[in-house]
Structure 1
Amino acid sequence: MKKDKSSFSIKPHYQKINKPWGYEIILTPENSPVTGKILHLDDNKRFSLQYHDIKIETLTLFSGEAYIILENEKGKMEKIKMEKNKGYHVRPFQKHRCQGIKDCLIFEASTREEGETVRLEDDYGRGTETEAKRMQRGKGKVYMG
């Protein structure tokens, strides 16, 4: 059986998107079933308090200091100082956010970007992100390289 190698690529993927809390670097192509990101969270900034209806993610602190705020099994929010090199798993509909104590790098491994990101609180006035909004151009300054 001959294998189709037409989708093989040796070119690395890099897409940097500036965010109000820092920036993210997307390491995987859009059509990938999984997503890998490096999130740079600035000192004293935080992500939205949010949940995803489909996406599953694991967040790992690589450098700096940050809190992760996660909804526990009783529906209560818990603020936890992230431990470096340990994974914090976030399920669909689980409320969560990260908050920088010092500038930090967080690695996000997740299923693809699909469904909605429902923002419950956002310091920057952003609303819920739908698939249609995600596809719009100009979501942030993009660098490809």
Structure 2
Amino acid sequence: MRRVEKPWGHEEIWAETPDYLGKVLVILAGRRLSLQHHEKKEETIRVTQGEMLLDLEDDAGALVAHHLRPGDVRHIPPRRRHRMTGITDCEVYEVSTAHPDDVVRHSDDYGRVPG
């Protein structure tokens, strides 16, 4: 397992193949990931501990807030803006297609470059 430190917590990559990627995101309370989308990457997330807010773009282009708790699952299609925020410290399993560098940032609390 490979651990990657992030300004919002960390991620643990537990599976990496040419076809898919599996990781655990540990998001600290009050911290959030970039508002982002992926051109190709498709992901499904499942909250296993804690609570989080998922802002996910709907079909009309509006961001809709989803309060997720342990056991909740959401699918994030390509080209949909989204952002995860820790309400409490939380753990989120993510399984996605293998496009780890496919991130287009729209805004970021930590000064990482958009695009």
Task: For CA contacts below 8 A with separation 6 or more, give which structure has more relative contact order.
Answer: 2
Q: Secondary structure at the match of 1:28?
A: strand
Where in structure 1 are there 5+ consecutive unaligned residues?
Answer: 1-13, 130-145
Task: Measure, in 1, the Cα distance between the counterparts of 2:73 and 2:33.
Answer: 17
**TM-score, normalization: structure 2?**
0.94
Structure 2 match to 1:21:
8
Task: Measure, in 2, the Cα distance between the counterparts of 1:64 and 1:79.
Answer: 17
Could you tell which deviates more after superposition, 45-54 or 112-121? 112-121
Task: Measure, in 1, the Cα distance between the counterparts of 2:19 and 2:71.
Answer: 24
Q: Cα distance 1:115–1:64, how it changes in 2: closer, same or farther (>3 A)? A: closer
Structure 1 match to 2:39:
53
Structure 1 match to 2:108:
122
Q: Secondary structure at the match of 1:27?
A: strand
Q: 1:28 Cα shift?
A: 1.2
Q: 1:38 Cα shift?
A: 0.3
Task: Measure, in 2, the Cα distance between the counterparts of 1:116 and 1:34.
Answer: 13
Q: 1:128 Cα shift?
A: 4.3
Q: 1:86 corresponds to which letter in structure 2?
A: D
Task: Measure, in 2, the Cα distance between the counterparts of 1:58 and 1:77.
Answer: 18
Where in structure 2 are there 5+ consecutive unaligned residues?
Answer: none
Choose between structure 1 and 2: higher strand proportion: 2
Q: 1:84 Cα shift?
A: 2.1
Among 12, 30, 35, the residue aligned to 2:21: 35
Task: Measure, in 1, the Cα distance between the counterparts of 2:52 and 2:9.
Answer: 13
Among 64, 72, 83, the residue aligned to 2:50: 64
**TM-score, normalization: structure 1?**
0.75
| Identity across the alignment (%) | 35
Structure 2 match to 1:140:
none
Q: CA RMSD in A?
A: 1.4
Task: Measure, in 1, the Cα distance between the counterparts of 2:56 and 2:18.
Answer: 27
Structure 2 residue 106 is matched with structure 1 residue 113: no
Number of positions where the alignment pairs a residue of Structure 1 with one of Structure 2? 115
Structure 2 residue 72 is matched with structure 1 residue 86: yes
